[in-house]
Amino acid sequence: LESRGSDATGVAFIDEEDELIVIKDNVAATQFVNSNHKWNSLEKVPSCMILHTRAATKGSALNSNNNHPVYRDGVALVHNGIVTNDDDIYKERNFKRDGQVDTEIILALLEVNRSKLDWLSRVAELNNLNGSFAVAAIDNKIKDTICLFRHNSTLVLGIDEVNEILY
């Protein structure tokens, strides 16, 4: 994973109490894994977990809000690619912005229909995004589910020897 980006590393999962746990740092994956982060001492591996290594392109890795996973109110996501009209949509929709990364507009749009508790309704909000991207998202209200979607980009899934899906 580190070859995909060494500016920041992060992980998000839903714990046994249905709380979203996000741990991220502006360090390479090797340093992140070897540190004493909470996820290194988990007694039980979560059923759904998303991880990301970042090569900073927009927004400084020194600002944690720019690093993945981006999250708010129980929803977290990681994304590879580029959204080219994020600044325009922020202005049009008057959304709150915490960082400078294009990833954050995906999170803001997924929150619009969060009360519906189904990913299909929420992903429909993304129809006006321009660019190419692949996304993995989790929500503490939708247990044991990772939402994967893409737009003008590849999305590769793998299955390991114990039938775990890898994105």
Question: Structure pTM?
Answer: 0.87
Residue 90 pLDDT level (bands cut at 50, 70, 90): very high
CA dihedral sign, ordered 3, 45, 164, 71: negative
Q: For 91-146, how does the pLDDT look when each residue is reduced to its tens digit (9 = 90+)?
A: 999 998 898 889 999 999 998 888 888 888 888 889 999 999 999 999 999 888 89
Mapped onto helix, strand or coil, the DSSP state of residue 61 is: coil
Classify residue 94 as left (phi > 0), alpha (psi -120 to 50) or beta.
Answer: left
Q: Is the pLDDT of residue 1 over 70?
A: no
Quote the pLDDT of residue 53: 73
Are 69 and 77 in contact by the 8 Å Cβ rule? The answer is yes
